[in-house]
């Protein structure tokens, strides 16, 4: 089964993960919310089924898998079927861009971040949510990858290379927070959000576009 | 698709302007069926069930 076909055929199954891991999901939303600007025009790249866009108040999304996009649209998101590496928007169209658990699925994350830099207004932010490959969960996912329908083609990154990419692209004012400090299968309450990275499985990086 | 978002929409390949053709709208005035055309690339991007397909041509599903 091709990489894209997995998300076409498995959209509902993928979406169910969030219901089955409610506290992990809510912890991720809370961590992302720390850096999402209020009352600004945002875009989520890799919007999936809209599980992050909806609670975070993001109205526009890009998603290459049609079956996922259909679910996001039913949740009220304006969705475009498009690739992160080739965004269908004019320069400086958005105040911020969110990419949550997206980078691990991209063929060319650096190109996608460059496209985001083009589409974000000067002074706007990119917010990246990711599973840290150095965390215990990152290591478990990496080990289980071969047998996982959705993660078979994923590439999990640690925080440092992602920070290098955003710096290279001219972003500054970098802020980082983290959450999910226990096995998501066993969480029974929303996890705290802490500054920095290194102990949480889910890391959020916010960086400001400093283009003039 | 909301028509007012045409202002920020661009061809994913050349980033040029797109021309909107509407075949069907819903009660809110959103485009349900239609297409977006890039004159520079001579490419047509379909809008089906409210979702514009702006994937590069080689990645499109057989929706056309």
Q: What residues make up the domain containing B51?
A: 3-62
C-alpha distances in angstroms, A9 versus A3, A22, A107, A137? 11, 23, 20, 25
- State mean pLDDT over A92-116: 96
- State mean pLDDT over A114-125: 96
Which chain B residue lies closest to A77 (C-alpha atoms)?
B1
pLDDT of residue A144: 85
B10/A81 CB distance under 8 A: no
pLDDT in tens, A20-33: 999 999 999 999 99
pLDDT of residue B64: 43
Contact A113, A83 (CB under 8 A): no
pLDDT of residue A41: 96
Into how many domains does chain B fold?
1
pLDDT at position A48 over 50 = yes
Interface check A195 vs B, CB under 8 A: no
Chain B residues contacting A, CB < 8 Å? 1-2, 5, 7-13, 15, 18, 49-56, 59, 61, 63
pLDDT of residue A1: 56
Host H or E run for residue A100: strand A94-100
Looking at this predicted complex, what is its ipTM? 0.91
Environment class of residue A40 by beta-carbon count within 10 Å: exposed (0-12), middle (13-18) or buried (19+)?
Answer: middle
pLDDT of residue B63: 46
pLDDT at position A70 over 90 = yes
pLDDT at position B61 over 80 = no
- State mean pLDDT over A112-137: 96
Which of A35-49, A58-72, A82-96, B50-64 has the least mean pLDDT?
B50-64
Domains of chain A by range and CATH? 3-209 (3.40.50.150)
Contact A152, A10 (CB under 8 A): no
Host H or E run for residue A16: helix A11-20
pLDDT of residue A143: 85
């Amino acid at each position: 089964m091709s990489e894209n076909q997995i998300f076409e055929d498995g959209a509902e199954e993928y979406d169910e993960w969030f219901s089955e891991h409610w506290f992990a999901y809510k912890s991720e939303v809370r961590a992302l919310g720390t850096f999402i600007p209020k009352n600004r025009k945002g875009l989520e790249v890799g919007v999936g089924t809209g599980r992050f866009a909806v609670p975070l108040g993001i109205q526009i999304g890009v998603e290459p898998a049609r079956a996922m996009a259909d679910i996001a649209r039913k949740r009220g998101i304006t969705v475009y079927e498009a690739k992160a590496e080739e965004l269908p928007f004019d320069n400086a169209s958005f105040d911020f861009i969110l990419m949550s658990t997206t980078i691990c699925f991209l063929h060319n994350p650096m190109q996608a971040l460059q496209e985001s830099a083009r589409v974000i207004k000067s002074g706007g932010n990119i917010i990246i949510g990711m599973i840290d490959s150095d965390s215990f969960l990152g290591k478990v996912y990496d080990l289980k990858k071969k047998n996982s329908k959705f993660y078979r083609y994923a590439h999990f990154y640690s925080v440092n290379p992602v920070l290098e990419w955003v710096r290279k692209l001219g972003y500054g004012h970098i802020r980082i927070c983290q959450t999910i400090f226990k096995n998501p299968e066993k969480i029974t309450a929303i996890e705290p959000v802490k500054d920095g990275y290194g102990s949480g499985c889910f890391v959020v990086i916010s960086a400001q576009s400093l283009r003039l | 698709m909301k028509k007012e978002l045409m202002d920020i929409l661009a061809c994913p390949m050349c980033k040029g302007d797109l021309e909107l053709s509407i075949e069907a709208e819903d009660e809110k005035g959103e485009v349900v069926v239609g297409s977006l055309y890039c004159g520079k690339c001579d490419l047509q991007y379909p809008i089906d069930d409210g979702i514009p397909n702006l994937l590069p041509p080689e990645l499109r599903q057989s929706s056309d």
